[in-house]
Amino acid sequence: MSRIEKKFRELKAKGEKALILYLTAGDPDLETTEKLILTLDRAGVDILEIGVPFSDPTADGPVIQEAAQRSLRKGTTLTAILKMIARVRKVTSIPIVLFTYYNPIFVYGNERFAGQAKKAGVDGVLVVDLPPEEADELRTFTDPQGIDFITLTAPTTDDRRLEKIVRTSSGFIYYISVTGVTGTKEPEAEAAARDLRRIRKATDLPVAVGFGISTAAQVRKFAALADGVVIGSAFVKWISLHCQEQDFLKQAAAYARELKEATVL
Amino acid sequence: MKINMPDNKGHFGIFGGRYVAETLMPALIELEEAYRRAARDRSFQKEFRSYLKDYAGRETPLYFAANLTEKFGGARIYLKREDLNHTGAHKINNTLGQALLARRMGKKRVIAETGAGQHGVATATVAALFGMECEVFMGAEDIRRQEPNVFRMKMLGADVTPVTSGTATLKDAMNEAMRQWVARVRDTFYVIGTTAGPHPYPQMVRDFQSVIGREARRQILKKEGRLPDFLVACVGGGSNAMGLFYPFRNDPETAMVGVEAGGKGIATGLHAASISAGQVGVLHGNKTYLLQDKHGQVKDAHSISAGLDYPGVGPEHSFFHAQGRAQYVSVTDDEALAAFMLLTTSEGIMPAMESAHAIAYAAKLAPTLSRDKIIVICLSGRGDKDMGIVAEKMEVKLP
Ligand SMILES: Cc1ncc(COP(=O)(O)O)c(C=O)c1O
């Protein structure tokens, strides 16, 4: 059983939902990212999505675009991110999902990536611009390594397509709760609830909701509907506002704990 | 071997495809199906042809450039006069096709990216024609460089949205157009301006632009009684080149040369020569040659010509390159500028700076060939929009 699967099972047994935080690796720098991962793990975050910065993030709104730019200016690379994950993996068992665009992986080499990601302790990959139609070229290498391949579904995904998507997913299904890029709109609970019912009908895999969720109140609302809630842009923005402060890690732990409480129903 | 691409998932060999977020996939599938139906529908084709003829002004002449031929002292030079189209470039062929398709699909709003502003103007033009709402995304840097075209778009009723993210040029305008499309995918049709983007765009844009090559093939057979030895066209994303090349793809006697923007020279790293000097990667929904660093981060392109200032290239060109069906070369900013002057003074035709790249390569090729050889050059657009750049380079102050 993968670490991701195991985590969802444990949470279910406890009557909790997964708090999943996204952060862009290398923003403000990789050293901070490393410390942040360990802090968030201790604060009770259930799963981490580690974003690989890309020069042309077409699915992201301004907040994550700017984080990627800052990270790239620091010289962050996929190689360095994998090394960092390998280091934290020695001391934490929190499930880690690499959230990335395809080109950095493709250029790194799909086979080499699968091997190195596994070795570093990556549990899943979510490649934003690799829909099921194109995914085989990467999954040929990541599936045999036991790396979960997390797929996206959107409000625009119809039932027939949904069927096809969930059949090939592993780990969990990531439901994009808004028709838009990250962090720009607030999801509508009613529409999301309708879509989540459709997804549930199609699969037994856990379903996480993300894109546009930012407050503890929203977390509470969506935790009632799904198996996990993802906070991305709001957290990335929070990091950019507070990372220079003395007690930054302490504040981050408090931030995470507040959100985590909202997932305990 | 006959080349009939792409396959049913939009792949040209290893290139092309549909590398986009899930939110867009249903829209691309819908578009693909609508396009497939339209391509088979006689009434759509008839409507398209009638707008090309009566609105865009086709067919465009295939002009024998006697003075230029004399100057080069070798092969006979023919110019396919896409500069004579309404709005001054080949871009209108494609925007008419896509706008007609948008209308069929019931979309009342179109968006587009633009670099030089030519595609933006061509999109704003058809939006005015068909009574559609139009928003054009343009890099803030390009807005500064191509002021007159920005004003033209506004006169035509389009909103021009400056893009300040990334490097504020064409690639960022395309990123932003894709983001906007994601956000309003249900009511918006994205008019991509070149043979790039996710499937079905490279195929669809090629098909709409193929009128260039179909006409040229017929015209040269009539004038010379045989097919040309060379086709030469500039390559930004590759739509004018593919439009010219495609109908000749199964004519082995005709060689094809795509001319990329060499900027300040390949060795300087400041260029836009994706095939000549890039590596395979994935950007804007397709796999193709890209300018990128060794970590897969896309690099900025550099060219005197805003229309060629793009770090990628249409996937079918990458495929033609891999197959050896076409050859890809580059010329520098300075060579293009000299060619601009040469065509202007020898033939009284002021080419777009993009098209000047094709002329510049022909200037090297023609003298190496005997007088019985034929070169057809795609003169993709006229040069009025480039007066600012030319004046700047010549250190002349415009009033
Ligand atoms: C006159 C002209 N030629 C060529 C191009 C390059 O585009 P493509 O390679 O798609 O023909 C442009 C783009 O703006 C243009 O305006």
* A180-226 pLDDT, tens digit each: 888 888 888 899 999 999 999 999 999 999 988 999 999 999 999 99
Q: Which of B194, B209, B382 to mutate to test the pocket of ligand 1 (most atoms within 8 A of CB)?
A: B194
pLDDT value of residue A188: 86
From A65, A134, A156, residue closest to B23, measured CB to CB: A156
- Active site (annotated) includes residue A60: yes
User: If pLDDT is split at 50, 70 and 90, which confidence band does B168 have?
Assistant: confident
Q: Are strands B15-19 and B11-12 parallel, antiparallel or unpaired?
A: antiparallel
Mean per-residue pLDDT over chain B, rounded: 96
Q: Which of B390, B384, B394, B397 is nearest to B149 (CA)?
A: B384
pLDDT tens per residue, range A165-180: 999 899 999 999 988 8
Mean pLDDT of A96-102: 98
Atom index in ligand 1 nearest the CA of residue B236 equals 9
A82: distance to nearest CA of chain B, Å? 13
Listing DSSP states for B138-191 in one string gives: EEHHHHHHTHHHHHHHHHTT-EEEEE-STTSSHHHHHHHHHHHHHHTTTTEEEE
Query: Tokens for B239?
Result: 């739509």
Any CB–CB contact under 8 A between B122 and chain A?
no
> Is B215 in contact with B375 (CB distance < 8 Å)?
no
Q: What local confidence, expressed as pLDDT, does residue A227 receive?
A: 97
Task: Find out whether the peptide bond into B59 is cis, omega within 30 degrees of 0.
Answer: yes
Residue B1: pLDDT over 70: no
Least Cα distance to A25 among A57, A72, A63 occurs for A72
Average pLDDT over residues A10-23: 97
Contact list in B for residue A152 (CB cut-off 8 A) is 21-23
Q: Does B39 touch chain A (CB under 8 A)?
A: no
Amino acid at residue number B272: A
User: Which residues in chain A touch residue B183, judged by CB atoms under 8 angstroms apart?
Assistant: 179-181, 184-185
* Share of residues in chain A with pLDDT > 70 (%): 100
Question: How many H helices and E strands in chain A?
Answer: 12, 9
* Percentage of chain B exceeding pLDDT 90: 89
Mean pLDDT throughout B148-162?
A: 96
Please give the single-letter amino acid code of residue B308. L
The continuous run of DSSP H or E covering A229 comes out as strand A228-231
Please indicate whether residue B240, judged by its CB atom, sits closer than 6 Å to ligand 1.
yes
CA A112 to the chain's CA centroid: 22
B95 close to ligand 1 (CB < 6 Angstrom): no
CA A248, CA A210: separation in Å to the nearest integer? 25
Question: What are the tens digits of pLDDT across the range B196-226?
Answer: 999 999 999 999 999 999 999 999 999 999 9
On the question of pLDDT at A140 being above 60, the answer is yes
- Written as one letter, the residue type at B313 is V
Catalytic-role residue among A5, A41, A46, A60 = A60
Instruction: Name the residue facing A154 among B23, B290, B292 (closest C-beta).
Output: B23
Give the pLDDT confidence of B111-141 residue by residue, as tens digits: 999 988 999 999 999 999 999 999 999 999 8
Q: Among all residues of chain B, which has the CA nearest to that of A176?
A: B23
Active site residue A49: yes
Task: Please answer whether residues A251 and A39 qualify as being in contact, where contact means their C-beta atoms are separated by less than 8 angstroms.
Answer: no
The mean pLDDT value for A22-37 works out to: 98
CA distance A163 to A174: 14
* B396/B399 Cα distance (integer angstroms): 10
CB proximity B26 to A under 8 Å = yes
The yes-or-no verdict on residue B352 having pLDDT over 60 is yes
- Which residues 6+ apart lie within 8 Å of A117 measured at CB? A82, A98, A125, A142, A145, A147
The ipTM, to two decimals, is 0.96
Catalytic-residue membership of B113: yes
Q: How confident is the model at residue A1 (pLDDT cuts 50, 70, 90)?
A: confident
The SS3 call for residue A16 is strand
Structure tokens at B51: 């707008």
Q: What is the pLDDT of residue B3?
A: 61
Give the pLDDT score at A78: 98
Q: What is the pTM of this model?
A: 0.96
Calculate what percentage of chain B has a pLDDT beyond 70: 99
Extended strands (E) in chain B: 11-12, 15-19, 62-64, 76-81, 109-114, 133-139, 159-163, 188-191, 230-234, 255-261, 279-283, 285-290, 326-331, 374-379
pLDDT in the model for residue B2 = 57
- Ligand 1 midpoint to CA B239 (Å): 7
Residue nearest to ligand 1 atom 10, measured at CA: B239
Per-residue pLDDT tens for B14-45? Answer: 999 999 999 999 999 999 999 999 999 999 99
Query: Inter-chain contact A102–B294, Cβ cutoff 8 Å?
Result: no
In the predicted structure, residue B285 carries a pLDDT above the cut 80: yes
For residue B184, the chain A residues in CB contact (below 8 A) are: 179
- Average pLDDT of chain A is 96
Using the 8-state DSSP alphabet, how is residue A209 labeled? E
Distance B30 CA to ligand 1 centre (A): 27
A147 band by pLDDT with thresholds 50, 70 and 90: very high
pLDDT of residue A179: 87
Q: Alpha helices, DSSP H only, in A121-178? A: 132-142, 159-168
Checking if the pLDDT of B79 tops 80, the result is yes
